[in-house]
Amino acid sequence: MMNDSPLTEDEIIEQRRKRRLEISKKHQAEGSKPTPSQASTTDHLASKITKSISKTDAAKLENEQPSLDNQHSNGENDSILAKPDSNEPFSEKASMEDDEDEEDDMFADSPLPTHKKRKTDKKPSTVKRSLAGMQDTWDDVEGYYKVILMEELDSRYLIQSNLGKGMFSSVVNVMDQMTKASFAIKIIRNNEVMYKAGMKEVSILERLQAADPEGRRHIVRYDRYFMHKNHLCMVFEMLSLNLRDILKKFGRNVGLNIKAIQVYAYQMFTALHLLEECNVIHADIKPDNMLVNEKRNILKICDLGSASDAAENEITPYLVSRFYRAPEISKSLTLF
């Protein structure tokens, strides 16, 4: 019995089923109910079957146990048992803790690649090196700063959106992390000539601000300047659309209503009066350089990048915007 191959569980179940069928057929053939003696005989047979099955199971376990022990001792089953454990979170966590406690062995035959990869990904120095490698790519070929959304400027301003690009600079919308207020930052191109022109604009803005400390004369409010990656950055109050966009949006084919024209004209002349008092020539007044607020009831003149002191220039009919010519200049009319 011990030399025969052990029965599988399915075979044992099949034997039980067949024996029960034989017993039930036997009782059906007799055509009568089992007597107490027959019932006891059936119980006796069932007990015998159970004992024989239990003996078979015991023999099976005895035969299988040495083979499992031999496999375990020979190391054949170690990899199979280790595979499920390697996918469990607990074993992964334990291996991470072991990796952290162990020192790197430079003479090891097969270092763990996952251990090295995990350490490389979490090194702050890797990020610093990648940022250091980008120092030459902050600007495009024309010297404009490559705007990156959510970048921090001057450890204070967070870039929210790109507002546009002009001849000398690009403009971004930022949030001041100290006051949570919105500002517009003008980023001058990375160029020595542009830098000098930008510092000249700063000096003119500071002069106008000193003449209008309360900001009632309709020149865009200047806050401060700073340097960022060799770019001069000027901080201004945040306004909305320029006058050209207002005309396209609200006055296409019909123009603005007369009340809005009166309000905007009065505010524009107020700003020009301040420029005259400070002896400043704007030299680039056009609808693009007039900004309105969100409520569309306040207009301010902006972009003094071409402005200069009146004493520095000779007044001629051509000292005007490069992109716009007033009708009286185009027709060479003398009004004064």
Written as six digits, the tokens of 224 are 């401060």
> 119, 145 in Cβ contact below 8 A?
no
Written as six digits, the tokens of 178 are 């100290």
> 6, 66 in Cβ contact below 8 A?
no
Is 248 among the annotated ligand-binding positions? no
Q: What is the CA radius of gyration of the chain?
A: 45
Cα angle, residue 256 at apex, residues 282 and 245 outer, rounded to 5°: 55
Q: Which residue has the tokens 């309105």?
A: 292
Exactly one of 10, 101, 109, 284 is catalytic; name it: 284
> 243, 287 in Cβ contact below 8 A?
yes
> 304, 201 in Cβ contact below 8 A?
yes
**CA atoms of 169 and 305, how far apart (whole Å):** 9
Q: Which amino acid is at 78?
A: D
**CA atoms of 278 and 282, how far apart (whole Å):** 11
Cα distances (angstroms) measured from residue 172 to each of 161, 219, 230 = 6, 19, 17
Written as six digits, the tokens of 97 are 């803790």
Is residue 78 among the annotated active site residues?
Answer: no
- For residue 235, the SS3 value is strand
Task: List, by residue number, the catalytic residues.
Answer: 284
| Annotated binding-site positions for ATP | 186
| Annotated binding-site positions | 186
